Each structure stands twice: as structure tokens, then as C-alpha cells.
């Protein structure tokens, strides 16, 4: 596997241009995923058919569920003369044939390079009474899929959130970040457990992990309701989970509707979950219920019971910054050594944040890179190997080439199922991560053990 | 099976008038008492319609060029296009005598990852530098450069970049102007890829390939190992495959493809251009085959043997057929008990919706609705309609190569097949060579042939025909499930396969039987609802 790569690590400066085996994809897929988190919304891809098709395929492969979306079906003519006619026709046809309550338009590198003025085209379009068309710009040549997710969140706030003159309501907005529906459900459960009313968007629960019911609905039962999104302007506070995926939308909501935005990490691991709970406790002046204290205690109990199974093991982590940062924090909590940490997404904050975490933990000799790729990671591993890989499915080639076990976390996971329904967030999700990591290492130990070392009890 | 007449106006009730006028031409219901009606195909999808179609880049890089195992393929553009076409098509590859593992790039993804400044100032320098770095690290035998949407708009000259890189590095660097917006579907990309492979790779090899019966296997992408199954079978009989196009193919083998005696064409849509052009340039005859389905495989084997007309070859063919058939028949019969009498839909690509009808018939199943995403009229109606197909603004954008007979390498087709001119003429008269009759003749009476089926129509047709199983792609797979209809992915085989030849038919039969009978289908209604229903009665 990967025999085409040189046996020895390539000299520094050999790979400086482009990406080889990337850890990011383009903006529009993130925008499509975010738009699917609005109830009765049809995401619309303003570009060539291939974009829409590729995004729908990637989402369906990860979630094992339909990802409905329409496209402006650009041809060469539209590319020369602009896509206004295609978008207007699309809006008319989509409302008449597929009858969504809202169309969420995102752009592509094609329509961005042409320079289509989406708000102007929307204004010229026929929009039935009571229906909505919103948009965001997602130039594929800037940022990553996480940027696209963030841009659609910003678009949703820009178009829909409203504030009444009345005092703020005792409710919190949850911007969950680019996570699985299983995580969104878990995060909202924790907030509800604290007795706080919440509005969450995007909310892909029961959309991208929709149950098998007796009747097919093109628009599944899940997703944030438009009236709730509007009402989010009246909330007292927003917890913006993930600096890359949620912080900017919360900042817009704060300036537009005076809703206090609290930027937080996605609650992966004990510390990040603690921080989210503390922010909610302080913001709403509520007590943390015993039930959550029990959940937390179970995690700490587990960490103390089995730390020797994973402590000191070296890990390479790769994926989206909002996932990788708290995941690295959890690994430190577990006493593991995050040796290599890579994201494909840009942003100086990434290296700074991870470096300060490692410094605080007294861990030296780790390598961190934003805008990196899996070729970079592979080179580092060739220099000095690790005990475990944690990241999306694309790391499986390195896992095989270098014979390192892989725990699948993040997006996309193409070669396993059930993960979109199960959380890695909150204390319950933390237990699940500990279980996945320790079981993977123990399976490896059992697999490698000589007969005389093969033990019943571990 | 009797199928009732579908009321097209009712089917399209919610469509705006313009959409109705467009879509009506893309749907034909077979009436055995009439000859094939014209079907509209390879024309634009109406914007806003939820189509299954992809783009030109997907057809060029994703389908045809990507599987060439020993070439580095760089996608020039923003990150997404390379990313989505990375490892997502199951075109398996392996090392062989001509290509060691060090020359396999199937697990790799190369993108210039264009940024905003590249869009503004142009991406040529970045591409040139990336080529240099890749040559430095990987030393590939040759490189492909595939364009994405913005490239055509910003005017990067890929031809100039490729030519300069060839001079710097002394290897071939081919470029494909396969911007996503070109044409109306993946089909444009197939054609663009065919042109470049024909013009720049085929015929360049000088190593003499030995063998009594040399063939190429065109339009086979080795999904799930399909090509390997075919290769095993053909080798048993005595054929040697010089190259497939492009499943598990190698640049070094494609260069020698001109030396074969006969081209075999599996996927007509994606590769008929090369079959045609090779016939013109080298005189190589081509035969449409289908190794999906037991009966189809047998017929194809017999047709190939007839092309050479050698008695020993025909005898060996029959021996192999008998042996293989005996091995699989009991197993097929077992699965047939589950599958027999069931009906299916097939919405895939530009050939499979036809090919799989043979295999399903082996299992006693009928396809009631079949459609292609990106086919042309000839794939439905047969090649005889090709002269009558009108070109339009979209199809005119795809260049046609003007091929002439090669002065040194052209040989008359009958010489390729080592037979007399008279015998060859008889073979041509039988209608097999250089011909494809399309899907229509194999459709059941009353069956629907639908081009570029969209989400609404699919949903309605499921309501009308109530199929037992749907063969489709990942975008529609889970929709089908939510509608209560089992589905199998016909692009990826749900990660099973190979499905070709005799043994593949058994694997397919088992997969289909499992899809139809997995116990969870009977558990959708919870017991409390069942109790309510029973109580109500």
C-alpha cells in the first residue's frame, strides 16, 4: 500500500505546492450539509451538475441517508453569459415541483469566478408567498468545507434571525458546528438536562440520521424550524461551538440582534464539555443537575480505571480544526501523546491553540500543521511512527502502509456505519471515544501477542 | 408480466409546462407492436430538476482517465473535484509483470488546490511547479492534467504547461480540457478522454506483443474486480488481453493497444469513440460484448470465437462454457427461487441498465423501468440512429478528432482476424461486428425507458410499478429504502462483486437474494401499530 511514495521521508521543501491526499474538501459541501439542517429546506447548488452530485454522494456515503439537493445545471452557455437565467428557472421549478419551504442557495467556484450576483438574482425571482430563498457565497478556492458550513450558518442568520423589541427570552441558541446528528442530539440533550430551553441550528438530527418509518417523506421530520430560527434573535445567549464552524455566525447574530455569543470548543472530551456546561450555568444561573454530574463522574472513573491501557501511547490526529483541537485536548487528558496534529483547513489559530495545549501539558517534540495533507503526515510517520491514528477514512491507506491501527472520527467516514447516530460529544460521547481508542489498542495487543502473552483479562 | 399504459400527463402533473414539454421526449413506453420511438437523450437537464447526472470532469477524470494505474493524474482546480473523485469508484488495480507496486497511484489524490489569488492571477505557474515536485518525488511514467470549471474561465493554457513540462522531464504530460460545465453530463468527459488517449497514447508503443488471439477490452472499469474475472475466463480459452480501457490498465500497455486483432467493447457509451477511431486508423474490427449475465457471457464468448472462426478456439470456448455452467447452475437455481418473478428498476450510467437486464433475466426477474444518466440516443435505439442525431450547441463544444488510416500500421479488418475477405464480409453481414442495437430490443413489453430520470419521476414510477428492487446509485439508494424498496448500488455493487461472467453471476444472485430477503424489511411496522390495525379490524 502506498508503495509509490518514497521509502525514506522526502527532504523538506519537496512538496510545497498543491495537495497530495488532502484533509479538506471544498466549501459548497459544508454549505449543503448546513442547509439540510433546516426543516423542509432544499439546498441548491449554483454551478455545474457535478458539484451537486459529488456533494450529495459524499454526504450519503458518510450518513447512509438521502442528501436531497438541486442544481443550476450550468452548461457552457451559462458559464459565458452568467447563471442568472439558470438560477431563476431553478427557483421556479424547485418550488413548483419539490415544494420546499425554503431554498438555500450556495455558490461554487464556477459561479464565483463568473461573478454571479446572487442576491440580485434572488430579488428578480418568483418566490411563492410564505416561502424563502436564502443564500451564501462559498467560493471553493477559499478555505474548506468547514468554511462553507460556517458561511451557510452566517447566511441563515443574515436572512432569517430577527429580534423583537421585547426583553430577551430565557433560551439559548446552539450552533453545534460541523458534527454528526448524533452529536447535535447529545449536545441538545445536555442543554435540556440543565433545564434550559434551546434553539439549535443547523439541526440535522432526523434528517441525516432519519429513521425508517412507514411512509417516505422527501423532507424528513428533523431540521430546525424556520420560526425557531427567526426567534433565535430573541434568545439571551448563543453557544457557538467550534471557532471555525460557528463563531462567525454567532458574532453576526450578536451584532444583528444583540444576542450574546459565547465562542466555545465543540464539547469533545471532559474539559470542553465542562466549559460548555459552565458557560450555560453562568449564562442562565442554573444548577448543574446530578444526572450530568453522574455522567461526568463515570468518565473520570473510567479514565482512572483503565488509563494504563493507553497512557503514553503516541497518536497522530488529523481532520477538521474544530474536531481535532478538542480531540487533542482529550488525548492529553487521557495521558496520551498527540505526536502529529494536522488539519487541511487554514487558520493560524490552529497551530497556536494546539501548541499552547501541548506546552501546558509539558509535551515536547510534536509536529502541528494547518493547511497540511496526508502526504505530509505520512512523511512524519516515516521519520518516527506512532501507535495510533485518529481521523477520517482517508487515513486508512497510511494505516495499512505503516501497519498502524486507526480510530475513525470526523468527516468523512465512508467505510463504517452507525457513527452518524452516535455521539463523540458530551460526557457520553467522551466515554465512547475512550472505548473506541482503548478497544482499538487492545485488539491490536491481542492480535500481536504471542501465545504465551495472550491473556484473558486485560 | 403485463404492464399498464402510463399516463404521461398524470406522471408529470406538478411540472411547469416547459418542463413537461422537455421531459415527455425523454420517456418511452415500449409497445411491442410498434418500432422504437425516438427518445431524446444527451440534451441539457432543466435547471432546478433533481438529476442524477454529474459533470464532464467526472466522466473524464472519474471514469476514463482516473483508473489508469501507472499515471499520476493531477486535478487542476480548487480542492473539491480531486477530493470527490479520490477512491470513490472502486476501479480496482494491482501490480503485474509490466507495472510494479511502486508505479501504482490508485490510492493517491493530487490537486493543485487553487486559491483565490490563482483564480485572479492564473494558475499556470502553480501547476508547472506541482508537476516538477511530483516528478521529483514520484518519478511517474506519465502524467494526466484534468481541468475543472474555473480553468476554462480564467484561461490557463494547459497545453502550453503540459508541453513545457514534457520538455523539462522527458515524459508524456497529457491535458484534458474537461471543465465541468462542458457538454450536458459525464458523457462529454468520456469523449474528451477518448480523444486524448487515442491521439497521444495508443499506437506509441513499439514493444511487440505476442499472442495468437490478441484483444483489447474496452469500456470495462474493473469495478469490484469485474475485469479480472473476464480476463481469467478469456485466458482459459486462449485470448490475451493487451489492455483494458481503463480498468486496471497501464499507460505502458495502452501504448501497445494498436497491435490487437480485435477490440471488445463492453460499455458502449464511454468508449465507442476509441473503438471507432481504432477501426479507422488501424483497421481493428470491434465487437460489442456483455459479460454481465450467464446467457450474455455465453453469447459473447461464442461471438468472439466466431470472429476468429478457428475450429479449435470454438471447441475450447464450448468446453469452457460447459465447465463453468456446470459449476454455477446449482447455486443460481437456489437463488432463483427467491428472485423469480420479481421486478426491478435500473437507473445507472450509460450501459449497465441494459447489461444487467440479462443477468436479472437469468434469475427470473424483469426490469420494468430502465434509464440512463448520460446516454445518447444510440444507447437506447441502436447505432443505426447515429447519422440522424442532430448536434446542438452543447455537443458541438466537444471536439471530434479527424482520424485517417495510418499509413504504416493500417491493415484491413479481415487481415486482423486472419480470415478471407469473403468470410469477413459474411461476419459483417451477420450484424455483430461494429454494431450495438441499444437497450430497446431487450426491454419488456410495456416497460419504460427513461433518460436522465429525476427525483420526482422516480418517486412516481415507484408508486405506479411497485418494483421489488431498485438498481441505482448512492444518491438514490437510501431514498429507495425510505420508500420501502430494497436497493443495490449498481456503480459500486454495495462493495461486493465481481459480478461478471459465471462466478460473478452467483455473487450477484446471492447479493440480490439477500437484499430482497433481509429480515429487517418485515420489521418496519412496530408491533404496537400492528396491534392497532388488528384491533381495528
- pLDDT above 70 covers what percent of chain B? 99
Q: Is the pLDDT of residue A133 over 70?
A: yes
**Residue B521 confidence (pLDDT) above 70:** yes
B108/A4 Cβ within 8 A:
yes
Contact B116 A142 (CB under 8 A): yes
pLDDT above 70 for B534 = no
Q: Strands (DSSP E) along A14-125, which ranges?
A: 19-20, 41-46, 70-71, 102-107
Identify the closest residue of chain A to B19 by CA–CA distance. Answer: A93
Which of B190, B268, B354, B377 is catalytic? The answer is: B190
Q: Which residues pair with B344 in a beta bridge?
A: B367, B469
Q: Using an 8 Å CB-CB cutoff, list chain B residues near A96.
A: 14-16
Q: What is the DSSP letter of B223?
A: B
| pLDDT of res. B2 | 76
For residues A278 and A343, state if they share a domain. no
Tell me if residue B58 is catalytic. Answer: yes
How many angstroms separate the CA atoms of B55 and B454, rounded?
16
End position of a domain, from candidates A247, A264, A287: A287
Nearest to A366 by CA among A5, A390, A356: A356
Does one domain contain both A96 and A113? yes
- Does the pLDDT at position B535 exceed 80? no
Provide the domain count of chain A. Answer: 3
Residues on chain A touching B44 (C-beta within 8 angstroms): 73, 75
Once rounded to an integer, what is the mean pLDDT over residues A57-63? 98
In a domain, A39, yes or no: yes
Q: Mean of the pLDDT values across residues B61-72?
A: 98
Backbone φ and ψ for B536, nearest 5 degrees, come out as -65, -35
Chain A residue with Cα closest to B118: A141
Q: Which CATH number does the domain housing residue A185 bear?
A: 3.40.50.1980
A354 reaches B (C-beta below 8 A): no
| Spatial distance between the Cα atoms of A10 and A55, rounded to a whole number of angstroms | 33
CA-to-CA separations, A131 to A70, A126, A234, B131, in angstroms, rounded: 17, 10, 22, 49
Is residue A112 domain-shared with residue A239, that is, in the same domain? no
Q: Are residues A76 and A95 in the same domain?
A: yes
Q: A439 is in which domain, residue-wise? A: 293-452
Q: A424 with A321, same domain?
A: yes
Model pLDDT, residue A206: 98
Residue where the block lists cell 493530487: B110
Q: What is the pLDDT of residue B36?
A: 79
- Among A128, A160, A192, the domain boundary falls at A160
pLDDT in tens, B461-501: 999 999 999 999 999 999 999 999 999 999 999 999 999 99
B248-279 tens-digit pLDDT: 999 999 999 999 999 999 999 999 999 999 99
pLDDT at A326 over 80: yes
Give contacts of A61 with chain B, Cβ < 8 Å: 88, 474
Domain membership flag for residue A108: yes
Return d(Cα B396, Cα B297) in angstroms, integer: 36
pLDDT grade for A365, boundaries at 50, 70 and 90: very high
- All residues of chain B having their beta carbon less than 8 Å from the beta carbon of residue A78 are 181
Nearest-CA distance B483 → chain A (Å): 5
Cβ distance B79 to A25 less than 8 Å, yes or no, reads yes
Residue of A nearest to B521 (CA): A212
Looking at CA atoms only, how far is residue B229 from chain A in angstroms? 23
Q: One of B23, B26, B53, B89 is an active-site residue; which one? A: B89
Q: In chain B, what are the domains? A: 56-200 (3.40.50.1980)
pLDDT for A434 beyond 80: yes
- pLDDT greater than 90 at residue B86: yes
- Whether A16 and chain B come into contact, CB under 8 Å, resolves to yes
Cβ distance B412 to B425 under 8 Å? no
CA distance B420 to chain A (A): 48
Residue B537 clears pLDDT 80, i.e. is over it: no
Task: Classify residue A15: in a domain, yes or no.
Answer: no
Q: Which residues of A touch B133 (CB under 8 A)?
A: 14-18
A10 within some domain: no
For A136, the enclosing helix (H) or strand (E) is strand A132-136
Asked if residue A71 belongs to a domain, the reply is yes
Prediction ipTM score: 0.98
Q: How far is B21 from chain A (nearest CA, A)?
A: 14
Confidence check: pLDDT of B533 > 90? no
Pair (A305, A431) in one structural domain: yes
Query: Is the per-residue pLDDT at A370 higher than 50?
Result: yes
Task: Verify that A100 and A243 share a domain, yes or no.
Answer: no
Q: Which of A271, A287, A303 is the last residue of a domain?
A: A287
The residue-averaged pLDDT of A418-437 equals 98
| B377 assigned to active site | no
Q: Are residues A270 and A389 in the same domain?
A: no
The reply to whether A299 and A276 lie within a common domain is no
Cα distance between the two ends of chain A: 32
Q: Look at residue B536 and tell me whether its pLDDT is greater than 80.
A: no
A185 and A334 fall within a common domain: no
Q: How far is A288 from chain B (nearest CA, A)?
A: 37
A151/A238 same-domain check: no
For B163, the grid coordinates are: 508541453
Report d(CA A179, CA A420) in Å as an integer: 9
CB-based contact, A142 to chain B, within 8 Å: yes
Write out residues 159-218 of A within 8 Å (CB-CB) of B.
Answer: 210, 212-214, 216-218
Give the best residue of A48, A111, A133, A146 to mutate against chain B (max B CB count within 10 A).
A48
Q: Using an 8 Å CB-CB cutoff, list chain A residues near B84.
A: 25, 54-55, 57-58
Give pLDDT tens digits for A271-297. Answer: 999 999 999 999 999 999 999 999 999
In a domain, A258, yes or no: yes
For residue A3, being part of any structural domain is answered with no
Residues A36-60: what's their mean pLDDT? 98
For the segment B277-328, what is each residue's pLDDT rounded down to a tens digit? 999 999 999 999 999 999 999 999 999 999 999 999 999 999 999 999 999 9
- Is B60 labeled as catalytic in the residue annotation? no
- Would you call A22 and B474 a contact, using CB atoms and an 8 Å cutoff? no
Q: Which residues of chain B does A26 touch, with a Cβ-Cβ cutoff of 8 Å?
A: 78-81, 83
- Is A82 inside any structural domain? yes
A409 & A336 share domain: yes
Three-state DSSP state, A339 = strand
Amino acid at each position: 500500500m502506498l508503495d509509490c511514495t518514497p521509502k525514506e521521508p522526502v527532504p523538506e521543501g519537496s512538496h510545497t505546492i498543491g495537495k497530495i491526499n488532502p484533509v479538506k474538501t471544498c466549501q459548497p459541501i459544508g454549505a449543503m450539509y448546513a442547509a439540510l439542517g433546516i426543516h423542509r429546506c432544499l439546498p441548491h447548488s449554483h454551478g455545474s451538475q457535478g458539484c451537486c452530485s459529488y456533494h450529495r454522494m459524499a454526504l450519503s456515503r458518510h450518513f447512509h441517508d438521502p442528501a436531497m439537493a438541486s442544481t443550476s445545471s450550468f452548461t457552457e452557455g451559462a458559464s459565458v453569459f452568467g447563471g442568472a437565467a439558470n438560477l431563476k428557472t431553478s427557483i421556479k421549478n424547485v418550488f413548483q415541483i419539490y415544494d420546499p419551504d425554503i431554498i438555500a442557495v450556495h455558490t461554487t467556484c464556477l459561479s464565483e469566478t463568473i461573478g454571479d450576483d446572487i442576491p440580485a438574482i434572488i430579488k428578480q425571482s418568483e418566490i411563492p408567498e410564505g416561502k424563502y430563498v436564502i443564500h451564501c457565497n462559498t467560493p471553493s478556492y477559499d478555505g474548506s468545507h468547514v468554511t462553507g458550513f460556517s458561511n451557510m450558518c452566517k447566511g441563515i442568520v443574515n436572512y432569517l434571525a430577527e429580534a423583537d423589541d421585547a426583553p430577551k427570552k430565557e433560551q439559548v441558541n446552539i450552533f453545534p458546528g460541523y458534527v454528526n446528528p448524533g452529536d447535535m442530539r447529545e449536545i441538545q440533550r445536555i442543554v435540556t438536562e440543565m433545564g434550559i430551553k434551546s434553539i439549535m441550528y443547523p439541526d440535522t438530527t432526523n434528517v441525516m440520521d432519519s429513521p425508517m418509518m412507514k411512509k417516505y417523506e422527501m423532507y424528513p421530520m428533523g431540521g430546525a424550524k424556520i420560526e425557531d430560527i427567526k426567534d433565535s434573535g430573541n434568545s439571551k445567549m448563543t453557544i457557538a461551538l467550534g471557532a471555525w464552524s460557528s463563531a462567525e455566525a454567532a458574532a453576526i447574530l450578536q451584532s444583528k440582534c444583540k444576542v450574546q455569543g459565547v465562542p466555545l470548543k465543540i464539547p469533545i472530551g471532559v474539559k470542553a464539555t465542562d466549559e460548555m456546561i459552565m458557560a450555560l450555568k453562568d449564562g442562565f444561573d442554573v444548577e448543574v443537575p446530578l444526572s450530568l454530574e453522574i455522567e461526568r463522574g463515570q468518565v473520570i472513573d473510567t479514565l482512572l480505571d483503565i488509563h494504563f491501557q493507553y497512557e503514553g501511547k503516541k497518536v497522530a490526529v488529523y481532520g477538521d480544526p474544530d474536531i481535532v483541537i478538542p480531540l487533542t485536548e482529550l488525548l492529553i487528558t487521557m495521558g496520551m501523546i498527540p505526536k502529529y496534529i494536522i488539519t487541511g483547513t487554514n487558520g493560524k489559530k490552529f497551530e497556536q491553540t494546539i501548541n499552547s495545549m501541548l506546552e501546558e501539558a509539558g509535551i515536547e517534540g510534536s509536529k502541528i500543521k494547518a493547511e497540511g495533507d496526508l502526504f505530509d503526515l505520512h512523511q512524519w510517520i516515516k521519520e518516527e511512527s506512532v501507535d495510533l491514528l485518529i481521523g477520517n477514512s482517508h487515513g486508512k491507506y497510511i494505516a495499512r502502509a505503516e501497519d498502524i491501527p486507526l480510530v475513525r472520527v470526523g468527516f468523512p467516514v465512508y467505510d463504517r456505519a452507525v457513527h452518524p447516530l452516535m455521539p463523540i460529544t458530551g460526557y457520553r460521547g467522551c466515554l465512547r471515544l475512550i472505548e473506541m481508542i482503548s478497544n482499538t489498542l487492545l485488539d491490536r495487543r491481542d492480535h500481536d501477542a504471542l501465545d504465551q502473552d495472550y491473556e484473558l483479562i486485560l | 408480466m403485463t404492464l399498464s399504459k402510463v399516463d404521461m400527463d398524470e406522471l408529470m402533473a406538478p411540472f411547469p409546462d416547459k418542463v413537461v414539454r422537455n421531459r415527455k421526449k425523454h420517456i418511452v413506453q415500449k409497445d411491442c407492436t410498434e418500432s422504437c420511438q425516438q427518445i431524446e437523450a444527451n440534451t441539457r437537464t432543466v435547471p432546478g430538476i433533481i438529476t442524477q447526472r454529474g459533470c464532464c470532469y467526472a466522466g473524464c477524470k472519474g471514469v476514463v482517465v482516473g483508473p489508469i494505474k501507472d499515471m499520476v493524474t493531477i486535478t487542476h482546480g480548487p480542492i473539491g473535484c480531486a477530493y470527490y473523485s479520490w477512491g470513490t469508484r472502486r476501479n480496482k488495480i494491482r501490480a503485474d509483470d509490466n507495472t510494479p507496486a511502486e508505479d501504482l497511484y490508485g490510492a493517491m489524490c493530487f490537486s493543485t488546490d487553487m486559491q483565490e489569488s490563482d483564480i485572479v492571477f492564473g494558475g499556470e505557474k502553480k501547476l508547472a511547479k506541482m508537476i516538477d515536485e511530483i516528478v521529483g518525488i514520484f518519478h511517474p511514467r506519465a502524467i494526466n492534467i484534468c481541468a475543472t470549471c474555473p480553468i476554462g474561465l480564467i484561461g490557463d493554457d494547459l497545453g502550453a504547461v503540459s508541453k513545457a513540462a514534457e520538455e523539462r522531464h522527458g515524459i508524456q504530460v497529457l491535458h484534458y480540457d474537461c471543465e465541468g460545465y462542458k457538454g450536458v453530463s459525464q458523457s462529454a468527459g468520456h469523449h474528451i478522454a477518448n480523444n486524448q488517449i487515442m491521439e497521444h497514447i495508443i499506437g506509441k508503443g513499439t514493444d511487440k506483443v505476442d499472442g495468437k488471439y490478441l484483444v483489447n477490452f474496452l469500456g470495462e472499469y474493473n469495478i469490484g474486480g469485474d475485469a479480472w474475472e473476464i480476463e481469467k475466463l478469456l485466458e482459459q480459452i486462449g485470448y490475451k488481453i493487451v489492455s483494458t480501457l481503463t480498468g486496471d490498465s497501464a499507460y505502458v500497455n495502452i501504448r501497445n493497444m494498436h497491435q490487437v486483432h480485435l477490440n471488445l467493447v463492453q460499455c458502449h457509451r464511454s468508449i465507442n469513440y476509441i473503438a471507432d477511431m481504432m477501426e479507422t486508423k488501424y483497421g481493428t474490427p470491434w465487437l460489442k460484448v456483455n459479460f454481465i449475465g450467464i446467457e450474455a457471457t455465453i453469447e459473447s464468448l461464442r461471438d468472439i470465437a466466431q470472429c476468429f472462426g478457428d475450429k479449435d478456439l470454438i471447441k475450447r470456448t464450448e468446453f469452457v462454457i460447459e465447465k463453468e455452467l456446470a459449476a454455477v447452475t446449482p447455486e443460481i437455481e437456489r437463488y432463483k427461487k427467491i428472485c423469480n418473478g420479481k421486478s426491478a428498476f435500473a437507473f445507472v450510467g450509460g450501459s449497465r441498465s441494459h447489461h444487467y437486464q440479462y443477468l436479472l433475466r437469468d434469475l427470473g426477474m424483469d426490469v420494468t423501468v430502465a434509464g440512463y444518466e448520460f446516454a445518447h440516443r444510440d444507447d437506447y435505439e441502436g447505432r443505426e440512429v447515429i447519422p440522424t442525431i442532430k448536434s446542438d450547441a452543447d455537443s458541438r463544444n466537444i471536439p471530434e478528432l479527424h482520424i485517417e488510416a495510418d499509413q504504416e500500421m493500417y491493415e484491413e479488418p479481415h487481415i486482423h482476424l486472419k480470415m478471407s475477405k469473403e468470410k469477413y464480409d459474411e461476419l459483417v453481414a451477420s450484424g455483430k461486428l461494429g454494431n450495438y442495437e441499444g437497450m430497446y430490443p431487450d426491454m419488456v413489453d410495456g416497460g419504460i425507458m427513461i433518460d436522465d430520470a429525476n427525483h420526482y419521476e422516480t418517486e412516481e414510477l415507484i408508486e405506479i410499478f411497485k418494483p421489488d428492487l431498485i438498481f441505482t446509485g448512492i444518491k438514490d439508494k437510501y431514498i429507495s429504502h425510505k420508500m420501502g424498496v430494497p436497493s443495490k448500488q449498481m456503480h459500486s455493487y454495495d462493495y461486493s462483486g465481481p459480478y461478471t461472467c459465471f462466478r460473478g453471476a452467483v455473487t450477484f444472485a446471492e447479493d440480490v437474494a439477500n437484499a430482497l430477503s433481509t429480515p429487517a424489511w418485515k420489521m418496519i411496522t412496530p408491533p404496537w401499530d400492528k396491534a392497532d390495525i388488528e384491533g381495528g379490524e
